[in-house]
A and B are shown apart, each in its own frame.
Chain A
């Protein structure tokens, strides 16, 4: 019994950590979808940009000889910089025109293609800026020391990651339900037209929500950067994973995304222990399974069919 329980606990902790990153990225995607009704194919690129920027920040801190602990605020700042620099430009400059397309199918398709085009541009932008080689900032991982659980060492950084995800979840809930701006966002997500008739500047709310979504993706990337090799291609992988999380939860769901990210994270890590070859199938297989029984995700209400 204990022979199984040890690895299981370990897999669960690793899975929760993985799920935490996944949640940060996916909740950004879900927020953007919930408010703007855009499925942002370029979302994985925001994750990658966050990771690259954070890796550069680590190099810079080492080069300047600053105390290594500076990396932790630098991770968050990297995410903010990426989100604020890229989010509004993409939303205002490249996506806004699609909101005027009347027919729903044509609008969705234009948005899928436009965000895919943005994804391609950002992929190459990464190569142009950071070159083709991978970046490792793994030493940032060990700065906080390790904790032994059941004799197995975990970096405290991993545990910090979980804490950050929980804090983001709580903060989002408080911001959305408890502040004026959050209530504007909820109103626009539900009914942009009535919102504007009540005096809410809908276009501004779109930019805010998109930027916050981009910051969350970049934060996922920045926080994950010490735990992975930051390389081109991490964005294209993350976008499909976060799609899977969002689809399992139901588009636009926030707490649901946390549950789905956890399920995928833990499922993935457990599979790594027991059937390593199949572990990467877990997110997609889970998504397929959920959508077969709940076509709009676990936590979403059914949509009305178009007439």
Chain B
């Protein structure tokens, strides 16, 4: 069964990789899904510890703005831009994390929110540095100074995003199965027991938080380059809430859930924009409510349950 499941993953990733060939017009959307998926993965990493962040847009925006600044440096290669943007977001997460990992539950959610709102207001008001509400143009150059046409760059970005997503998913999976990952999961309801084992809960959380910030920043940088533009809205609290929704839609249970949640979210938003322009949030609200109420383990839980039932049938 495990082999079948692993093969299925390969098929999913492979299938996703050929989609831009089948439908070139979708490349942009497919890249955005990966970017959002990375941010959702960042949020679901904190969910492992039972912590909801209503402020991860801070790191998403940080990644995108960092990409914008790096783009201004002539010759900044897209791969280097992505790496450095993600690193800047991780650094920001390290600084913020020193404060934030002291809090749990509602306070964790609210402090993240407050920090991101500070960033949002600064992005909006410090016009000379951030371009104010107009935001900044994000540009990136292709491979080693080799100038690529816009479609070439879009394709390159898509495959970079896919590679980044697969690597990030693999890395998070390995991390969650390491002792540090176990400790993270245990913080949710047995924090003091974790500390009896001589592990500092705050340190465990800080590591996760920095990783999480880096992932969200990577997503933000990808999205920024794909859109070619970044605005303060990317740091507003509703953007953060969107990531939480994706993580919950997908089900926090596994790394894949975050990407599935992002895909579903993006599909819903495209669908709703087309057919019910003014009631997209209403639809989204109803869907979130139904999932939280009736299927708290999300898409992933549904999928996993299917396999479990099949495995049980085999026996």
When the two chains form their complex, are residues A288 and B121 in contact, meaning their CB atoms are under 8 A apart? no
Q: Is A136 an interface residue when CB atoms closer than 8 A count as contact? A: no
Q: Is B125 an interface residue when CB atoms closer than 8 A count as contact? A: yes
Given known A-B contacts A124-B280, A128-B279, A117 and B106 have beta carbons under 8 A apart? no
Distance, CA A124 to CA B278, complexed state (A): 7
Give the residues in chain A near B286, CB-CB below 8 Å.
117, 121
Q: Which among A71-79, A159-167, A174-182, A273-281 touches the partner chain?
A: A273-281
Which of A281, A296, A305 contacts B192, CB < 8 Å?
Answer: A305
Name B's interface SS.
helix
Is the interface on chain A under 10, 10 to 19, 20 to 34, or 35 or more residues?
A: 35 or more
Most B C-beta atoms less than 10 A away, residue of A114, A120, A128, A306: A120
Q: Is B103 an interface residue when CB atoms closer than 8 A count as contact? A: yes
Given known A-B contacts A39-B106, A117-B288, A288 and B114 have beta carbons under 8 A apart? yes
Which of A121, A240, A292 contacts B281, CB < 8 Å?
Answer: A121
When the two chains form their complex, are residues A240 and B113 in contact, meaning their CB atoms are under 8 A apart? yes
Distance, CA A262 to CA B285, complexed state (A): 34
Q: Which among A4-12, A51-59, A105-113 touches the partner chain?
A: A105-113
Which of B105, B106, B125, B192 contacts A277, CB < 8 Å?
Answer: B125
Near A by CB (< 8 A), chain B positions 120-148 give 121-122, 124-126
Whole-angstrom distance between the Cβ of A300 and the nearest chain B Cβ: 11
Given known A-B contacts A97-B293, A291-B107, A103 and B189 have beta carbons under 8 A apart? yes
Whole-angstrom distance between the Cβ of B99 and the nearest chain A Cβ: 6
When the two chains form their complex, are residues A120 and B237 in contact, meaning their CB atoms are under 8 A apart? no
Give the residues in chain B near A240, CB-CB below 8 Å.
113-114, 117, 237
Q: Which among A61-69, A140-148, A210-218, A243-251 touches the partner chain?
A: A243-251
Q: Is A168 an interface residue when CB atoms closer than 8 A count as contact? A: no
Near B by CB (< 8 A), chain A positions 89-144 give 94, 97, 103-106, 108-110, 112-114, 116-121, 123-125, 127-128, 132
Q: Is A287 an interface residue when CB atoms closer than 8 A count as contact? A: yes
When the two chains form their complex, are residues B106 and A120 in contact, meaning their CB atoms are under 8 A apart? no
Give the residues in chain B near A112, CB-CB below 8 Å.
52, 54, 106, 109
Distance, CA A105 to CA B282, complexed state (A): 27
Distance, CA A306 to CA B105, complexed state (A): 11
Whole-angstrom distance between the Cβ of A261 and the nearest chain B Cβ: 16
Q: Is A154 an interface residue when CB atoms closer than 8 A count as contact? A: no
When the two chains form their complex, are residues A108 and B111 in contact, meaning their CB atoms are under 8 A apart? no
When the two chains form their complex, are residues B189 and A113 in contact, meaning their CB atoms are under 8 A apart? no
Which of B117, B189, B289 contacts A117, CB < 8 Å?
Answer: B289
Q: Is B238 an interface residue when CB atoms closer than 8 A count as contact? A: yes
Q: Is A307 an interface residue when CB atoms closer than 8 A count as contact? A: yes
Whole-angstrom distance between the Cβ of A35 and the nearest chain B Cβ: 15
Distance, CA A216 to CA B278, complexed state (A): 28
Give the residues in chain B near A277, CB-CB below 8 Å.
125-126
Given known A-B contacts A105-B189, A117-B292, A288-B111, A124 and B281 have beta carbons under 8 A apart? yes
Distance, CA A113 to CA B17, complexed state (A): 33
Give the residues in chain B near A247, CB-CB below 8 Å.
107, 110, 114
Give the residues in chain A near B191, CB-CB below 8 Å.
305-307
Which of B47, B50, B118, B284 contacts A281, CB < 8 Å?
Answer: B118
Near A by CB (< 8 A), chain B positions 224-242 give 237-238, 241
Name 6 extra pairs, CB < 8 A, besides A280-B124, A284-B114.
A112-B54, A121-B286, A128-B282, A243-B113, A278-B121, A284-B118
On B, residues with C-beta under 8 Å from A are 47, 50, 52, 54, 99, 102-107, 109-111, 113-115, 117-118, 121-122, 124-126, 188-193, 237-238, 241, 244-245, 248, 278-282, 284-286, 288-289, 292-293, 296
A-B contact pairs, 10 of them (CB 8 A): A105-B105, A108-B106, A109-B52, A114-B293, A120-B281, A236-B237, A243-B113, A285-B118, A288-B115, A305-B192
